Structure 1
Amino acid sequence: MTGTGNADERSWRRRVERVVNEIAQELRTLDDGTAWFSDLPPAGRQEVLREVAGYAMQAHITAADGRAGVARSGVKPTANPSVMICMDPPRYGFYRLPADEHVKAFRVLVSVFAVADTRRRETYCKGTCSHPWHRLPAEAEEA
């Protein structure tokens, strides 16, 4: 998080990465992830929204991913975060939304990321993947 030491920031980012990827790989429910997110202070929620938007960008989300993710998220398609992610190109300023929109933004972003990341794991990374975040069950067994 902004203003923390390097080790604290790395630990925070690893935690966010872990939770989001566990949701994307269905090792954690979206509702459980949303509860974790909701317990964060407002500044923490903004940082998570920045991180998850970055993950979505790296997963190269498509308009179809956006629509499928919104459908999975349980958020109305007319809600601000849903509209933002389905734009062409998507808008990523979710952390700038009012605090009362943060939970909806989290649900939409994580759901869209899950759709795009699953597509990439099944195509681009299939059989050749070296991304550690795509091998969470093995890591969980070691922990």
Structure 2
Amino acid sequence: MTEPSSDNGRAFRREIERVVNEIAQGLSTLDAGVGWFSDLARTRQQEVLQEVAGYAMQAHITAADGRAGVARSGVKPTANPSVMICMDPPSYGFAGLPSAEHVKAFRVLVSVFAAADARRRETYCKGACRHAWHNLPAGTEPP
């Protein structure tokens, strides 16, 4: 098996960014994102989990974001990904979870990121946001 080229890696990271931000902004559903995620190979799923964990770190998630995201994710609060994200500080080792927990981890991470990102758009980015990912066109195709 050959390694993907760096161009393919960049394209995949852009795809992850698009999918996650469309979900976070309500332009696509979490279930549609889960469908996209579920169709990926296990190694790609791990890449997605690492990338989205990075988004959550950059969004400076709070305990309130964690609780709100878990509630929206449809994942039990006692599931490993839910417990990990609500720790103080949060644990971001989602890619290391067994593959049977990857979909739960994706649901939790994206939902928590969405809560944190919405909070930040209302505070830091309100009125004059120049982040491209905060200004997605409303007519984008679902993943």
Task: Settle same-fold status: TM greater than 0.5.
Answer: yes
Answer whether contact 2:69 2:114 (CA < 8 A) is retained. yes
1:134 aligns with 2:134: yes
Q: Gapped runs of 5+ residues in structure 2? A: none
Q: Write 1 or 2 for the structure with the bigger share of helix.
A: 1
* TM-score relative to the length of structure 2: 0.94
Deviation by residue 1:63-86 (Cα, 9 ceiling, x = unmatched)? 000000000000000000000000
Please tell me the residue identity of whatever aligns with 1:134: H
Q: Gapped runs of 5+ residues in structure 1? A: none
**Superposition RMSD in Å:** 1.6
Deviation by residue 1:12-44 (Cα, 9 ceiling, x = unmatched)? 000000000000000000000001000000000
* TM-score relative to the length of structure 1: 0.94
Q: Deviating runs (4+, > 6 A) in structure 1? A: none
Please tell me the residue identity of whatever aligns with 2:124: Y
Greater RCO structure (CA 8 Å; 6+ sep): 2
Answer whether contact 2:19 2:33 (CA < 8 A) is retained. yes
- Secondary structure of the structure 2 residue equivalent to 1:69: helix
Percent of aligned positions with the same letter in both sequences? 75
**Deviation of 1:139 (Å):** 8.5
Query: Greater shift after overlay, 77-86 or 132-141?
Result: 132-141
